[in-house]
């Protein structure tokens, strides 16, 4: 053991330590170099990645455009929806919080079960909807008790609201959630992917969905690694959807729906000059509000199984034989073809024979001798068998088409039906049979193959009343600042080329139907001077009357079971001397046209005339 050896040991240690220190210094330099590389050379790239991490773009749903009536009254609006949501991480005991909440508002067992299930699946800060569409009283009650309700939060969203409930269901339609099918079929729009976003599912809401929808805004938010939003960085507002003004008059629609009562019926009221649809009614109806929040199975089944078909818009999708309301078309066809004059006379004995077959007039005893105007007034079937045979079905069909029958009128709605106006070639092509004279007889009184919709009948009446101008119905005002509704449309291009004399005799007949001594609807006069109504009744047979029944005495329509009763139709316009409004009414299984449909038509026209000045004044004042 020597000190020298110990010194040698120390020297070796020092040498080795210095080498070690050098190595460590080199490694520290590597770290410093790496720090420089990451924080200086690559800083921009990593800064971008850090921003991508924390920034999240969220879509903001635009406010849906309102749907207004012609006077600016809201038919579809956005209502604040008071909601209760639960945030799990803010409460210690979810079920106790729910217990306390149900002391204040009724929380259903199924809602409760759903909330409890969702709290287990979702992150603690995600709000879980508990209840929607609270009343203001419920909302404020919860608000007052909020200190006792940890985890419960109130929020306000926007939901579509139809303040008139069932009044406009068939026109306006409703909105609903975006389905898988919608995603495939619609134009791509990021809004469609937004949870809870609603699009138009029916009616105007669907037809004008794009312009009502508006465009999405965006909000850039800062979110943490778990997706919780920390704060909003900036926001770009979208643009709300455009408001849409309809031609409908809320007051008239309201009146019409009430007037129809419990019937299964439809009515269309038109401005005969502009084609504005002032009212379009199909009853019974439904409440579109049920659809926006998601309709219950029970309610849905109830609507579907109802024999009066509340879901169908009978005004455009119901196809009925027009019955005697078709007689004006037949008469005009014959007059225009020159096969008869207004003075053409036929002797009615109550029936006419065709080979071995007997075609009956509605009046068993017959009408005796009558000319055209009388034939329309009394709705003599035999007269029209005669002239239909004379003019032939193809001429009738041509005239019917000119009046808008047998084709779609392209109203801005879905589900419009075209009806059916038969011709010889149609029968050959579709049924593979030759046209028979008897077929012409049936067409002459609006039966047989003929089918029309209430809208078509209203358009037909309007075209008669305005002196033969082919107005088209419209539901939406052209644009917000466009022409006032009294502006006459270009008369020349719309003129149907009917002779004044022919039209006069037919319209005269329609005047007599209501105002004549023998008129079929003489009980449905408008008594106000200057407002006189002209019209035509029609009965559509639902069931053929058998020979046996005829012999044993035909039961009156009202004595038969509801399902077997005839449809009652009435078309009319007023005032006779200065026509303004046309109406078509059909009451399904209503029985007597003159007793059921005609008074409704009269009341609707009277109401339209009555509120007309009011409407004008309100517009002028505004």
Partner 1 sequence: MLRELGGADKTIPLSRKIWDLNWGLVLLICATASVGFLMLYSAAEGNLEPWASRQMIRFAAGLCIMFVVALTDIRIWLRLSYPFYAIALLMLGAVEVMGVIGMGARRWVEIGPIQVQPSEIMKITLVMAIARYFHDISLEDVRRLRWLIPPLILVALPAALVLRQPDLGTTLLLVAGAGIVFFVAGVQWWKFALVIGTAIPSGFFAYQFLHEYQKKRILIFLNPESDPLGAGYHIMQSKIALGSGGVFGKGFVQGTQSHLNYLPEMRTDFIFSMLAEEFGMIGGLILFALYILLLAYGYAIAFRSQNHFGRLLALGLTGVFFLYIFINIAMVMGLVPVVGVPLPLISYGGTSMLTLLISFGLIMSVYVHRDIEMQRKQY
Q: Which of 74, 132, 182, 222 binds partner 1 (CB under 8 A)?
A: 222
Q: Which of 95, 146, 215, 224 binds partner 1 (CB under 8 A)?
A: 224
Binding piece for partner 1, criterion CB under 8 A, among 49-57, 258-266, 361-369, 461-469: 49-57
Rounded to a whole number of angstroms, the minimum distance from the CB of residue 43 to partner 1 is 4
Can you say how many angstroms the Cα of residue 399 is from the centroid of all Cα atoms in its chain? 30
- Considering the complex, state which of residue 5 and residue 434 has its C-beta at the smaller distance from partner 1: 5
Interaction between residue 123 and partner 1 (CB under 8 A):
no
Binding piece for partner 1, criterion CB under 8 A, among 10-18, 564-572, 585-593, 610-618: 10-18
Q: CA angle, corner 170, sides to 166 and 175, nearest 5?
A: 85
Instruction: Give CA–CA dist 544/560, Å, rounded.
Output: 13
Interaction between residue 74 and partner 1 (CB under 8 A):
no
Q: Which of 49, 349, 545, 618 binds partner 1 (CB under 8 A)?
A: 49
Give the contacts of 313 (CB within 8 A, at least 6 positions apart): 170, 171, 266, 280, 282, 413, 415
Q: Which of 22, 30, 148, 186 binds partner 1 (CB under 8 A)?
A: 30
Interaction between residue 39 and partner 1 (CB under 8 A):
yes
Rounded to a whole number of angstroms, the minimum distance from the CB of residue 155 to partner 1 is 24
- Considering the complex, state which of residue 24 and residue 239 has its C-beta at the smaller distance from partner 1: 24
Binding piece for partner 1, criterion CB under 8 A, among 11-19, 83-91, 430-438, 483-491: 11-19
Binding piece for partner 1, criterion CB under 8 A, among 145-153, 223-231, 441-449, 541-549: 223-231
Instruction: Give CA–CA dist 608/248, Å, rounded.
Output: 12
Instruction: Give CA–CA dist 528/251, Å, rounded.
Output: 21
CB 422 within 8 A of CB 396: no
Q: Which of 42, 215, 304, 528 binds partner 1 (CB under 8 A)?
A: 42
Interaction between residue 27 and partner 1 (CB under 8 A):
yes
- Considering the complex, state which of residue 222 and residue 612 has its C-beta at the smaller distance from partner 1: 222
Binding piece for partner 1, criterion CB under 8 A, among 44-52, 323-331, 343-351, 445-453: 44-52
Beta strands (DSSP E) in 463-566 are 534-540
**Residue 562 DSSP one-character state:** G
* Residues 314-338: b if buried by 16+ CB within 10 A, e if exposed: bbbbbbbbbbbbbbbbbbbbbbbbe
DSSP, collapsed to helix, strand or coil, labels residue 288 as coil
State phi, psi for 228 to the nearest 5 degrees.
-75, 135
Interaction between residue 1 and partner 1 (CB under 8 A):
yes
Strand partners, 584: 268, 571
Interaction between residue 229 and partner 1 (CB under 8 A):
no
Rounded to a whole number of angstroms, the minimum distance from the CB of residue 317 to partner 1 is 53
* Residues 233-265: b if buried by 16+ CB within 10 A, e if exposed: eeeeebebbbbbbbbbbbbbbbbbbebbeebbb
Size of the site for partner 1 (CB under 8 A): 41
- Region of residue 603 (left: phi > 0; alpha: psi -120 to 50; beta: else): alpha
* Residues 577-605: b if buried by 16+ CB within 10 A, e if exposed: eebbbbbbbbbbbbbbbbbbbbbbbbbbb
DSSP, collapsed to helix, strand or coil, labels residue 276 as strand
Rounded to a whole number of angstroms, the minimum distance from the CB of residue 89 to partner 1 is 15
Interaction between residue 13 and partner 1 (CB under 8 A):
yes
95 part of the active site? no
Give the contacts of 239 (CB within 8 A, at least 6 positions apart): 62, 214, 215
Interaction between residue 220 and partner 1 (CB under 8 A):
no
List of residues contacting partner 1 (CB under 8 A): 1, 5-6, 8-10, 12-14, 16-17, 20-21, 24, 27-28, 30-32, 34-36, 38-40, 42-43, 45-47, 49-51, 53-54, 222-226, 230
* Active site residues per annotation: 324
């Amino acid at each position: 053991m020597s000190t020298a050896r110990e010194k040698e040991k120390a020297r070796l240690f020092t040498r080795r330590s210095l080498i070690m220190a050098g190595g460590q210094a080199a490694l520290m330099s590597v770290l410093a170099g790496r720090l420089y590389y990451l924080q200086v050379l690559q800083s921009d790239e990593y800064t971008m990645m850090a921003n991508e991490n924390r920034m999240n773009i969220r879509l903001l749903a635009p406010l849906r455009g309102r749907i207004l009536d012609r006077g600016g009254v809201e038919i579809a609006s956005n209502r604040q929806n008071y909601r209760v949501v639960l945030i799990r991480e803010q409460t210690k005991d979810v079920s106790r919080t729910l217990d306390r909440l149900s002391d204040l508002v009724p929380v259903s067992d199924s809602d409760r079960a759903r909330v409890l299930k969702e709290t287990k699946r979702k992150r603690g800060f995600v709000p879980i909807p508990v209840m929607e569409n609270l009343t203001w009283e419920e909302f404020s009650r919860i608000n007052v008790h909020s200190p006792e309700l940890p985890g419960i939060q109130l929020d306000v969203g926007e939901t579509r609201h139809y303040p008139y409930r069932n009044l406009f269901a068939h026109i306006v339609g409703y909105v609903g959630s975006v389905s898988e099918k919608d995603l495939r079929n619609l134009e791509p729009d990021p809004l469609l992917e937004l949870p809870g976003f609603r699009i138009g599912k029916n009616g105007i809401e669907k037809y004008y969905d794009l312009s009502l929808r508006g465009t999405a805004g965006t909000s850039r938010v800062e979110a943490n690694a778990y997706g919780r939003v920390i704060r909003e960085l900036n926001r770009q507002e979208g643009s709300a959807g455009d408001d849409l003004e309809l031609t409908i008059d809320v007051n008239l629609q309201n009146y019409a729906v009430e007037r129809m009562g419990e019937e299964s019926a439809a009515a269309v009221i038109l401005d005969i000059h502009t084609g504005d649809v002032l009212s379009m009614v199909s009853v019974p109806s439904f409440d579109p509000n049920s659809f926006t929040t998601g309709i219950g199975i029970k309610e849905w089944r109830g609507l579907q199984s109802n024999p009066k078909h509340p879901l169908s818009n009978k005004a455009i999708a119901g196809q009925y034989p027009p019955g005697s309301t078709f007689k004006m078309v037949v008469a005009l066809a014959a007059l225009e073809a020159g096969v008869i004059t207004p003075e053409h006379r036929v002797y009615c004995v109550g029936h006419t024979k065709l080979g071995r077959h007997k075609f009956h007039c509605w009046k068993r005893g017959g009408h005796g001798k009558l000319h055209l105007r009388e034939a329309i007034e009394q709705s003599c079937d035999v007269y029209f068998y005669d002239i239909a045979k004379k003019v032939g079905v193809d001429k009738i069909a041509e005239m019917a088409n000119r009046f808008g029958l047998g084709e779609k009128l392209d109203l801005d709605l879905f589900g419009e039906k075209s009806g059916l106006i038969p011709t010889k070639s149609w029968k050959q092509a579709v049924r593979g049979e030759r046209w028979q004279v008897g077929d012409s007889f049936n067409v002459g009184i609006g039966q047989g193959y003929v089918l029309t919709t209430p809208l078509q009948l209203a358009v037909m009446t309007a075209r008669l009343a305005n002196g033969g101008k082919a107005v088209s119905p419209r539901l939406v005002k052209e644009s917000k600042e466009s022409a006032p509704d009294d502006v006459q449309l270009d008369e020349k291009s719309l003129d149907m080329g009917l002779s004044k004399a022919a039209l006069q005799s037919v319209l005269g007949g329609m005047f007599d139907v209501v105002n004549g001594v023998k008129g079929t609807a003489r009980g449905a006069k408008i008594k106000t001077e200057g407002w006189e109504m002209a019209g035509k009744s029609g009965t559509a047979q639902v069931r053929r009357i058998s020979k046996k029944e005829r012999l044993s005495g035909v039961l009156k329509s009202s004595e038969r079971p509801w399902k077997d009763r005839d449809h009652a139709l009435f078309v009319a316009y007023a005032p006779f001397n200065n026509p303004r409004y046309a109406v078509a009414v059909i009451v399904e299984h209503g029985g007597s046209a003159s007793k059921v449909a005609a008074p409704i038509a009269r009341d609707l026209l009277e109401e339209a005339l009555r509120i007309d000045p009011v409407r004008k004044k309100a517009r002028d004042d505004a």
